[in-house]
Structures are given as structure tokens and as C-alpha cells.
Amino acid sequence: MTTQAVSGALKGPGNNGGRLFSGTATDGAYTAINSTTGAAELGFAMRGQVVDNVALAYSAGSALWVIRNRVTQQIDRAGMCFKTGTVSPDGYPCRPITINQNHILQIYSLAAGTTYLAWVWFAGKPPELFNSTIADGATGSLVTTAAAGSQDLGSFADQTVSSIKVQAPDGKVVSYSRILDRNGAEQYAALGSERSSTGGYPKSGSENLCTGQIAFSVMRGMDLQLTVAA
């Protein structure tokens, strides 16, 4: 399997301070990343501190980050990384979280290719990682990773989608995303774009599509599709 270097900083508001983190991520898997100084896990490097900004950079391809409880394995926060050289001066803001000793910082990275990654948040639950390999100019269905059973959106029937964020591989463009019902009728749509390479608005360099806060009820048979530019 291929690997790539990742690095960045986690910080909090006011007097909470911040720390640098770095390491080598194995593509196609979650890799724990420790503090640059002392090589400490997040839970020991920043125990008791509030974190509200996670700015991490990968080398090439695509990458996501999670703050996970290593005991329960629950994802407590999740977001997307920037390609090296495109990190926003404002970092990547997230909902504040108080770090406890069980927290670890992990990266999920992919080498350059045509696989698209997405975080799908469901109300009251941790986010689910979806993905799809889509050729240029084509449409594909996003499903959970193979490790999570390759489930489509309809498998989460009776839950409520609260947000969707998509990251394309470097240089790829997301045209739009749609949710179709079991009869193929369009029930939701959102436009995408290419990621910024100039480090502008905090998340424009890390996200190709973001729905913002929504409250979409999932029904059995629904399909979350992504259409990408040629």
C-alpha cells in the first residue's frame, strides 16, 4: 500500500493553546497521527484542552481526519484535510470538543485517482464515511466503505441527514450531488465545485461540496449520487 506525509495543527479558543501533529498515513486506511514534539497521542498531548480548529495537510490525492475515542471507537469529530500548500490561514473550524485521554487523531487518505470521499452526518449520530470511484464526466453512487459494508443511503432509512460534505481527488471537479428515491425521482440536489488552490475561505481548499445544515429524511431505496466533470 502507498503512504504519504501528513502534518498540521490543532488549536482551541482563548487560552487553550495548540499543538503540531505529523506522521505518515497509509492510503486506504485510518492512520493515527501523533504530536510532532514527543510523538504523543492526541489524548495525552492535549488532554483537557478545547479544540475548535483542525488544519491538516496531505501530500497528494485526498484525505479526511477524525477525532476518535479509541475505547468506544466512536468518531467524535470529523472533517477534511487540505493539500500541502493550500491550507487556509483560518484553518478548518469544527464544533468545539474537550479532549480526553482516550482521544486519538486519525487520517484516512487516498493516493491520487478517481475515488471520491464524503462525510454524511445523521442527526444524533456520528458521521458515516461514504465513497465512490467515478470516471471523469460520469455519475456514481456513494456508499459506505467496504469495511463498513458498502451500504447505500437507503440502508439508513428512517434516519435524518443533517449534512453532507464531499472531497474529490486533487484537480477533480464535483458538478453536483443528488438524492434519488427508489423510483429514480430527484428528492434533493446540491452544486459542487473544484477545490481552491490558494488557501482562501477556510473550507474551500478542502471541500468540493457542502450542503450546510439540512434535515432530510431518508427512505428505503434512496440513492446518493455524485456527478463529476469531464
Q: Which grid coordinates belong to 38?
A: 514527543
Selection from 17, 22, 23, 114 nearest residue 62 by Cα: 114
Cell numbers 500541502: residue: 84
Cα–Cα distance for residue pair 26/147, rounded to 1 Å = 15
pLDDT of 229 reads 97
Q: Does the pLDDT of residue 60 top 80, yes or no?
A: yes
Q: What is the pLDDT of residues 167-220, one digit of tens each?
A: 999 999 999 999 999 999 999 999 999 998 876 677 889 999 999 999 999 999
Q: Stretch 66-90: mean pLDDT, rounded?
A: 96
pLDDT of 200 reads 63
Q: What is the pLDDT of residues 11-32, one digit of tens each?
A: 999 989 999 999 999 999 999 9
Q: Stretch 119-133: mean pLDDT, rounded?
A: 97
Count of positions (residues) in the chain: 230
SS3 category, 219: coil
Q: Stretch 108-114: mean pLDDT, rounded?
A: 97
